[in-house]
Amino acid sequence: MNDLLIDRDGGEYIMGKFLAVHTLPSPSTVEAATPIAKATKANSTLDAYWVSSWIQLNKEGKVTKILCEWDAKDIESIQKVIKEVLKKVAIPVDGIYPMAKADAEAYR
């Protein structure tokens, strides 16, 4: 679902859903990955807002992949936020993809 937003100049634009995929170069503890979340939240903007993440864990309970849900004007807006995050912490970016979200309750 996309949301219609009004910018500061009174123009309208659609806020879409996106998924950013991050495969870590080596497994990490959840605690060690926390600075990534803090930097992302601190750098979110009106044009690109981090909503939530799913974390893939290996058998030892370490983070191997992070899937981040974003509300954003476009992919470029997310890339700008990630560029700022990379100044503080290292996080690889496999890709950023448009997405739609399906909730099970809609199919009852």
Confirm whether 92 is domain-assigned. yes
3-state helix, strand and coil shares in percent for the chain, rounded to the nearest 5: 25, 40, 30
CATH code of 56's domain: 3.30.70.3090
Query: What's the gap between Cα 94 and its chain centre?
Result: 12
Q: Could you read off the pLDDT of 46-93 as tens digits, one per residue?
A: 999 999 999 999 999 999 999 999 999 999 999 999 999 999 998 999
The pLDDT of residue 70: 96
Number of domains the chain contains = 1
Instruction: Determine the structural domain holding residue 28 and report its residue range.
Output: 12-100
The Cα–Cα gap between 55 and 48 comes to 20
Confirm whether 2 is domain-assigned. no
Nearest CA to 82 out of 94, 72, 91 is that of 91
Confirm whether 106 is domain-assigned. no
Confirm whether 4 is domain-assigned. no
Confirm whether 6 is domain-assigned. no
Q: What is the mean pLDDT of the chain?
A: 89
pTM score of the predicted model: 0.82
Nearest CA to 65 out of 13, 22, 99 is that of 22
Q: Which residues contact 82 (CB under 8 A, 6 or more apart)?
A: 20, 40, 91, 93
Confirm whether 37 is domain-assigned. yes
Confirm whether 50 is domain-assigned. yes
